[in-house]
Structure 1
């Protein structure tokens, strides 16, 4: 087609995860690729009842335009239950409902980043966020991680030595893709650094409530004294991703800007799904539902890690996540996980190669595995097949 696209659009590429998910629609494929919740855990019967009740009682409101900020009863639930549980004392005027936290990621880069500005992120980092950010043509500065999350000394050096850092992006709980969790001490430190250098921290928190061992850590925002931390939440991993409901929790002055971006983008999030979610949480316990999810995912994590110990070469290492959806696999440095993925797909097993999670490239010898979506039997069989493929490289 003879048409001229914008410079920005020419740099966009398809998400590797989304492309892989197309390949894994075949029923014979055992997919560890997506970050998909287990569909058998969706509360379909309850949602059916709730939807009927919402339409019968508030149908005209549910099918009408609503405010950009979101449905107030849902915002109140987020304040009193979800944010409060994370240690954050906030108010309804600090909450904006968005179409999943993915929309919030796009808005964040749009709000803070000009072409060439620096976004600091963990190394590796969430591919979906990197793809959202790349549309705004930033420079990425990667900060290394250890078992306690992002290296804070390295982060402060970066903030000292670069004057065009516009935001710091982090996933502190059971990080995607590594499965690592930021320590409480580092959460305090990153909040302090954001205030000291006046740089916003985008705290992406989709997995914090999916904790298998120990107690949940407080959000970074709970240590935020000056309003520089912006927390992104979602119901996609704890309830139903198809509803596309997430939220931004931010200082009022910052949230006003997000609201303007939301108005220009889509006016508002879906009124009906907001009302369904709020009604569900008014009549049923989301915490009880999350407990059911946790019990299933913990069992699947254990089966995956035990199987990897048994069927992978001993030289292969991987993370031991204490919650969330992912483990991160490290191969010998000369092995390209993209090539391993090609061979694994021939055995009807799929995963996401690791290079995509590094915005500046390299690091080919890693890959991400998801344990939430496949049942126990398929996890065992898939890891056995994948182990046989990896052994060919050792």
Structure 2
């Protein structure tokens, strides 16, 4: 068969490939970016789905509007306004997970040869998605405070990108949190250079102690001209359930209209059963308590993983302590003359019965081969301790 030429620009996910190696009995996996299924509010979701089918069967089981179920859109908008963003229901569209929102942005915004700036490192699927549409994706370095804005401006001037993609809050894989000062500066750059900034925020509610700074969308009211160059992607996957496959996108009117047109060609509308269930779940008022439980558990697991890493690997490893989210992003220091090749380290880890993800695939350019990602989110505490001990044996 002669496949589309665009497929030459992408390859299968490195994370998915690692999952193929995890069938060995007894292996402990820090590789996945999954929420812990044991923390899902099964009772609440079950009750919501029953209400959806008993009270709104014709809506839940029928085709629906491409832009989404209006009561759910209104609830999402209400929640965003509570967090400081001036959003109306008509300014957002429900998507089949935030992954579809990124795909729709690629379809509507990118032509072959366009430049896209992303954090280095960033969400692997975003790099693949934008490359699929022919874009040249360029990494901008980050530090513990998120993307380095001076370097970002230099890359904007050099590449004149079609869009900039950022995960400002507890990024995947970095766990970094962009400072308030840098958030405002990015909005100034968007307005100055008239470049679309895409804010992806699936982890923002998974904070451990103090809430993070306001989103770029919330702050845009303080930076004249920035709102018209900003798109926002949200998701229920990390705070309710990924099985619902529901996210949303907030965008300027023209962009949202074109994205809706492209969505008509892909799935017509996101699952109405899932949308009505999510709406009933939000109306039931159980989310705050369920989210608080997730925050507490993830915070405990993150601390335990860091404490054990310090004890077992010491100066062989460098990482920035996450303040929320699901990941620890680490690099091998080479202390004691050890090898700094994280891919080889991860491979040895699997041989010792523990899995992580090498960092190279998370970079579009300027790869740091010493890096790797670990997730504590879905690993019980006793397995975190044992898994880190196994990692230490792989040094």
- TM-score of Structure 1 vs Structure 2, range by shorter chain: over 0.9
Q: Does the Cα contact within 8 Å between 1:169 and 1:204 map onto a contact in 2?
A: yes
For structure 2, list consecutive stretches of 5 or more residues without a partner in the other structure.
Answer: none
Equivalent position of 1:23 in the other structure? 21
**Hey, what does 2:207 align to over in structure 1?**
211
Deviation of 1:127 after TM superposition, in Å, equals 0.7
Flag as ranges the 4+ runs of structure 1 deviating above 6 A: none
Tell me the TM-score normalized by structure 1. Answer: 0.95
Secondary structure in 2 matching 1:168: strand
Count of residue correspondences: 386
Whether 2:124 is the aligned partner of 1:127: answer yes
1:156 aligns with 2:153: yes
Q: Which residue of 2 aligns with 1:336?
A: 341
Residue 178 of structure 1: aligned partner: 174
Select the residue among 356, 364, 371 that pairs with 2:369: 364
1:346 to 324, 340, 351: 351
SS in 2 for 1:172: coil
The answer for the alignment partner of 2:115 in structure 1 is: 118
Q: Deviations over 1:82-115 (max 9, x none)?
A: x124321110111100011111111112221111
Distance 1:361-1:25 versus aligned 2 partners, 3 A rule: farther
What do residues 207-235 of structure 1 show as CA deviations (whole Å, max 9, x unaligned)?
00110022221111122243211010000
Offset at 1:313? 3.6
- Matched residues in 2 for 1:47 and 1:148: separation? 36
Residues 208 and 85 of structure 1, relative CA distance in 2, 3 Å threshold: farther
The CA distance in 2 between the partners of 1:298 and 1:25, in whole Å, is 28
**Structure 1 position 145 matched with structure 2 position 142:** yes
* Contact 1:331/1:366 (<8 A) preserved: yes
Question: Which residue matches 1:388?
Answer: 393
Deviations 1:328-370, CA, capped at 9 Å, x for gaps: 1111365211111111111221111000111125311110000
| 1:65 shift after superposition | 0.2
1:109 aligns with: 106
1:46-96 per-position Cα deviation (integer Å, ceiling 9, x unaligned): 222221221111112211000000011111111001x12432111011110
Displacement of 1:36:
0.5
Normalising by structure 2, we get a TM-score of 0.95
Counting only pairs closer than 5 Å after superposition, residues 1-394 of structure 1 correspond to structure 2 as: 3-26=1-24, 28-81=26-79, 83-163=80-160, 165-224=161-220, 225-226=224-225, 227-332=228-333, 334-360=339-365, 362-390=367-395
Cα offset, 1:161, TM superposition: 2.6
Alpha-carbon distance in 1 for matches of 2:81, 2:122: 27
Q: What is the distance in 1 between the residues matched to 2:89 and 2:189?
A: 26
CA-atom RMSD in angstroms: 1.4
Residues 87, 26 of structure 1: alpha-carbon distance in 2 compared, 3 angstrom cutoff:
farther
2 CA distance for matches of 1:368 and 1:32?
Answer: 8
Deviation at 1:10, TM superposition (A): 3.1
d(CA) in 1 for partners of 2:367 and 2:141?
14
